[in-house]
Amino acid sequence: MAWVGLCAAALPALVNAQEAEPSFFAARVEPVLDRHCVACHGPEKQKAELRLDTFEQTMRGSDAGEVVKPGDLKSSELFRRITLPDDHEEFMPADGKPPLTADEVRILELWIGSGASATAPLSAFPNAPVLRQPRAVAAPLAPDWRPHRDAIAALERELGVKLAPRSQVATDGLVLRTASAPARCDDATLARLAPVAAFIVEAQLARTRISDAGLATLSTWENLLSLDLTLTAVTSGGLATLAKLPKIETINLTDTAVDDTGLDKLRAAPSLQRLWVFGTKVTDANEAPLRNAW
Amino acid sequence: MNHDPSAHAHHDLCSDHGGENPTVWDLPQVPPGLKQEWLELETRRHFLGRGAKALGWAGLATILGRTAPNLLAGNASPLGGLGLAPNFAPKAKRAIYLFMAGAPSQFETWDYKPGLADMFDKDLPESVRGGQVLTGMTASQARFPIAPSRYSFSQHGKAGHWVSELFPHTAKIADDLCVIKSLHTEAINHEPAILQITTGNMFPGRPSLGAWLSYGLGAANDELPTFVVMTSKMPVRANVQALSNRLWSSGFLSPEHAAVSLRAGSDPVLYINNPKGVDSGLRRAMIDGVNDLNRQLFERVGDPEINARISQYEMAFRMQTSVPELTDFSNEPQSTWDLYGPKAKEPGTFAYNCLMARRLAERGVLFTQIFLRSWDNHSNLPANIKTLAEDSDQPTYALVTDLKRRGLLDDTVVIWGGEFGRTVYSQGVLRPDNYGRDHHPRCFSMWMAGGGVKPGISFGETDDFSYNIAKDPVHIRDLHATILHLFGIDHNKLSFKFQGLDQKLTGVLPAKVIDGLLA
C-alpha cells in the first residue's frame, strides 16, 4: 500500500491542550492546510498576504478579504478555489502542485460547513474521512537514469533488449527485458550492459543463453532487487557469486540445473526473501528455509 | 507546430482552404475543444505528409500508440519510454482474466447463504426486492420462491473461505484467493453487462481493459501481441450468449491494441501461415511491397490507421515464428498434464486455454482473456453448473498453482468472474434438485489472485438473500480502477482524447481504487 492511515493518537502535537480529545481543526484541518497550502501561504511566503498556518491567520483572510466564512461554503473563497476544475486559472494549489484528495476536500467542507470552529471536538464529526498521508518518500532504488538516456537507447538498439523505466519515478530504476529475443541475450550481452548496470533493478533473463559467467557479471549489479533466471544454463557453481548482491530480494531458478549445494551458497545473500526452485534438483528438506511454499 | 488556429478564425463558412474539403473549423457551432482536436490531427497530417520522411517516422513513434517502436529500427527507447512507464511502481506485470460468460450464480459458487436452506420454496419478501424492475423473463411470475443452493459448502485454508463442493480443486488454493462478494452493475441484460465489465461502458465501441493496458504500458515481448483472447469449447450448450470482438476491441485506440484471438487447432491465428508455394522470403518481399504502398498512402492522406495496418502486417510476420513455438506443447513434462488434467491436450478446451495462458504469461504477454460460456442458467441450473465446474475447476486451480510454483503469481493477477449475478428466487419450476435463476445486477461474486491482490480474504457482504449489498460495494468502475492500480496506473491519468473528451476506462462517474483488495 502506498498510503498509511494517520492516527491522531500517535501524534500528540495535534492534541488541543484544553480538550480531553483533539479538536477537529487540529486533527484533520490543519494537517490538510499544512500539506497543501502553507508552503505559499505561511511563515515563509505570504502570497496574496494570506497565511494558513494558524487558525487565527486563516480566519483573518487575504488582501481580498476573508477566505473562510463560517457555515457558508459558497462564499468561502478557500473552498471555491480548491473545488474549481483543476485547469482553472484560479484553482488551488496553483502551479500544478498536487490537488487535494476527495477526502481532504471533504474535511474542509465539513469544517467550514459546520461553522469553522477552532475547538469543536473530533468526535463531533463521526463521518469525517480518516486523514491519510503518503508514506515517507521511499529511498531511491537507483540513480536517476535520465541523464544517460542516449547511452541506454544505444544499448537497447545494439543488444536487442529493452531497458524500461520501472515507473515514472526516475530513481525507481530500469527493468531489463529480454522476452522479445531471449536467444540474443548471452553472457557477452550482460557484460556490454556494464555502463548502465547501476540503473537496473530488475533483470528478466528467463530463456536467455546466459551461464555461470553471466552470473559473475550480475553479481556486480549492486542495485538489483529481482532476478529471473528461469530455463537458463546456470548451475549451482555460479550461484555463490550472487550472494554478494546487497539488495537482491527475489531470484527465480525455475527449470534450471541447480541443486541443494547452490541453495546453500545463496543463503548468505543479505536481503533475499523469495526464491523459486520448481523443476530443479533441489530437495524438499533443503529448500524449506528459503523457498516460497514450493 | 506551424499551424495557427487564428488563421482559421476569419474563414467564411464552408471555405475550402488549400484545396481541402470544408472542415470542422468551418462550423461555427462546433465547440472549441473539438476544433482543437481536429487541429492536432490536421497538424500531424501536414507535418507527416509534407515533412521529410525520416522526421515523419520519428513523429509516428509518439503518435502511434506507443507500440510504434515496432515500426522503427531497433527497440523502444526510454526517450519515448517514459510515457509508457507506469505512474508508480507496479505490482502486476500481466493479467489473466478467466471470463465466465453468461453470469455464474453466486449461490452455488462463492456467496454461501446457509440460512436459505430452511426457506425452500418460501416467497422472497417484497421488502428485499424493494420494487426492483425484473427482466421480462421472470417479471410475470406469480411467485418468487426461494431456491437454496443444491450444493453444499465447506471451509478451506487459513482464510476459511466457504467453498462450494463444485470446486474441490479451487478449494486447495483458497489461501491465494481474494473473493469479492459485493460487485454490482447497472446492466441486467447480457450484452450491455458484458460490454460494461470488459470495456467500462454499456455502449459498444470502447476499448476493452486489455486494450487500455496495451496502450498504457506497451509490449514486453514484441514478437507476440500484448493482448490475447481465447474462447473455450463448451462442455454444455445451454442459453449460449454470443461473444464478439466488441468485447476485446481497441475502440478508438489504435487497432494494434485490440486482442489477437488465438483459435483452437492447427491454425491458431487465422491466415498467418504461408500458403503452399510461398516461402518466408517471398512473404517478406510481399509485406515489404504492401508496406511501401501503405506508406505512400499515409504520406498522402496522413491517416494514422494506415500505420496501424503496417504494424499489424509486421506483427503477423513475426507471429509466423513466435506462434508455432508458443503453441507447441510437446516439451511440456508429464507433471504439466497431471496438473491441468487430460483435457489440456485437447486444443480449445478451457484446460488447454489455461495452459496456453501460462505459456503466454511466461513469454511476457500483458493481458490474456479466456472466455468460457454457458453460465446463463435460467433453467436446469444444478446440472449445467456442475458440468461447467467440472470442466473448469481443475484447470483454474492448475493455472494459479503453476504460476505460483514458477514464481509468476507474484506479478500476474488472475481474475475469475462473469458479468452479473443471479436471483435468489427460482425462475420457472422449483424442485429441490432442479431450478433456474434469472439475471441479477445488484450483487455478484468474483475472485482475484496474485499480482498485488491481498490473498486469502473475503471482501464485501450481501444480505441473507444475496439480493442487496450489505457492506463494501464494489462497482465495476472500482474494479477497473483497482486493476489499473495493480499495474501502477492511476485510472484518472490513463486517458485518450476522442470526440473532445479525455476518455478513460473508468468513465466520468466517480471510481475508486479499493484499498481493501490490495496486498
Find the length of chain A.
294
Residue of A nearest to B222 (CA): A180
d(CA A95, CA A89): 9
Write out residues in chain A with pLDDT < 50, as ranges.
Answer: 1-19, 286-294
Instruction: Output the nine-digit C-alpha cell for B363.
Output: 513469454
Residue of B nearest to A279 (CA): B406
How far is B515 from chain A, CA to nearest CA, in Å? 8
Kindly write down the DSSP assignment for every residue of chain A, as one continuous string. --EEE--GGG-GGGS-TTSSS-BHIIIIIHHHHHHHTTTTBSSS-BGGG---SSHHHHHH-BTTB-S--TT-TTT-HHHHHHTS-TTSTT-SS-TTPPPPPHHHHHHHHHHHHTT--SS-BGGG-TTSPPPEEEPPPPPPSS---GGGHHHHHHHHHHHT-EEEESSSSGGG-EEEE-TT-GGG--HHHHHHTGGGGGGEEEEE-TT----HHHHHHHTT-TT--EEE-TT----HHHHGGGGG-SS--EEE-TTS---HHHHHHHTT-TT--EEE-TTSS--HHHHTTTSS--
Q: What pLDDT is recorded for position B312? A: 84
Residue B395: its H or E element:
helix B381-405
Q: Are B341 and B395 in contact (CB under 8 A)?
A: yes
Mutate which: B66, B75, B321, vs A, most A CBs within 10 A = B75
Q: What pLDDT is recorded for position B8? A: 41
**Burial (CB count <10 Å: 0-12, 13-18, 19+), residue B270:** exposed
How far is B220 from chain A, CA to nearest CA, in Å? 7
Residue B502: its H or E element:
strand B501-504
d(CA A62, CA A42): 12
Q: What pLDDT is recorded for position B499? A: 85
Task: Report how far apart, in Å, the C-alpha atoms of B387 and of each of B53, B163, B343, B390 are.
Answer: 59, 17, 14, 5
Q: Are B308 and B291 in contact (CB under 8 A)?
A: no
Backbone angles phi, psi at B442, to 5 degrees: -75, -20
Q: Are B90 and B487 in contact (CB under 8 A)?
A: yes
Backbone angles phi, psi at B10, to 5 degrees: -90, 0
Q: What pLDDT is recorded for position A22? A: 81
Report strand pairing: B412-417 vs B444-449.
antiparallel
Collapse the DSSP code of B234 into the 3-class scheme (helix H, G, I; strand E, B; otherwise coil) and give the result.
coil
Residue B39: its H or E element:
helix B32-50
Task: Report how far apart, in Å, the C-alpha atoms of B493 and of each of A23, B212, B490, B496, B513 are.
Answer: 36, 12, 5, 9, 13
Q: Are A278 and A254 in contact (CB under 8 A)?
A: yes
CA dihedral B43, B49, B50, B53 (to 10 degrees): 120
Angle at Cα B516 formed by Cα B511 and Cα B519, nearest 5°? 115
Q: Are A28 and A128 in contact (CB under 8 A)?
A: yes
Neighbours of A256 (CB within 10 A): 24
Report strand pairing: B444-449 vs B495-498.
unpaired
Choose among B390, B447, B439, B436: nearest CA to B419: B439
Instruction: Output the nine-digit C-alpha cell for A85.
Output: 476544475
The rounded average pLDDT for each run of 10 residues, N- to C-terminus, in chain B (519 residues) is 41 40 60 66 51 36 33 29 73 97 98 97 92 85 94 94 97 97 96 97 96 92 94 90 92 90 82 86 92 90 82 88 90 94 94 97 97 96 97 98 95 98 95 95 98 96 97 97 96 88 91 94
Choose among B481, B413, B84, B518: nearest CA to A2: B518
Question: In chain A, which residues touch B (CB < 8 A)?
Answer: 1-3, 102, 145, 149, 152-153, 156-157, 160-169, 172, 174, 177, 179-181, 204, 206, 228, 230, 250, 252, 254, 274, 276, 278-279, 292-294
Unique residue bearing C-alpha cell 555463490 = A240
**pTM for this structure?**
0.77
B334 touches chain A (CB under 8 A): no
3-state SS record for B156-224: ECCCCEEEECCCCCHHHHHHHEEEEEEEECCCCCHHHHHHHHHHCCCCCCCCCHHHHHHHHHCCCCCCC
How far is B487 from chain A, CA to nearest CA, in Å? 10
d(CA B494, CA A164): 18
Q: What pLDDT is recorded for position B49? A: 43
Instruction: Output the nine-digit C-alpha cell for B164.
Output: 462450494
**The residue type at B377:** N
Q: Which residues of A touch B407 (CB under 8 A)?
A: 228, 230, 250, 252, 254, 274, 276, 278, 292
Q: Which residues of B touch A163 (CB under 8 A)?
A: 78
Backbone angles phi, psi at A95, to 5 degrees: 60, 35
d(CA B256, CA B244): 17
Collapse the DSSP code of B93 into the 3-class scheme (helix H, G, I; strand E, B; otherwise coil) and give the result.
coil
Q: Is the peptide bond before B168 cis (omega within 30 degrees of 0)?
A: no
- Most distant CA pair in chain B: distance in Å? 79
d(CA A111, CA A116): 5
Unique residue bearing C-alpha cell 527485458 = A177
Q: Which residues of B touch A174 (CB under 8 A)?
A: 78
Q: What pLDDT is recorded for position B93? A: 96
3-state SS record for B241-308: CCCCHHHHCCCCCCHHHCCEECCCCCCCCCCCCCCCCCCHHHHHHHHHHHHHHHHHHHHHHCCHHHHH
Q: What pLDDT is recorded for position B308? A: 82
Contact between B75 and A161 using a beta-carbon 8 Å cutoff: yes
Kindly write down the DSSP assignment for every residue of A76-112, as one continuous string. -HHHHHHTS-TTSTT-SS-TTPPPPPHHHHHHHHHHH
Instruction: Output the nine-digit C-alpha cell for A259.
Output: 541443486
Angle at Cα A118 formed by Cα A112 and Cα A123, nearest 5°? 80
Q: What pLDDT is recorded for position A132? A: 62
A235: number of CA atoms within 13 Å, CB side?
Answer: 3
Kindly write down the DSSP assignment for every residue of B408-461, as one continuous string. -GGGEEEEEE-SSEEEEEESS--BTTB--EEEE-S-EEEEEESTTBPTTEEE-E
B95: β partners? B367, B413
CB nearest B87 (choices: A102, A161, A168): A168
Report strand pairing: B412-417 vs B94-100.
parallel
d(CA B389, CA A146): 51
Collapse the DSSP code of B139 into the 3-class scheme (helix H, G, I; strand E, B; otherwise coil) and give the result.
coil
DSSP letter, residue B11: P
B415: β partners? B97, B448
Neighbours of A147 (CB within 10 A): 9
Contact between A168 and B88 using a beta-carbon 8 Å cutoff: yes
Angle at Cα B116 formed by Cα B110 and Cα B120, nearest 5°? 130
Q: Provide, for chain B, the percentages of residues in helix, strand and coil under a 3-state DSSP scheme, each rounded to the nearest 5.
A: 40, 15, 45
d(CA B452, CA B434): 40
d(CA B424, CA B422): 7
Phi-psi region for residue B479, left (φ > 0), alpha (ψ -120 to 50) or beta?
alpha
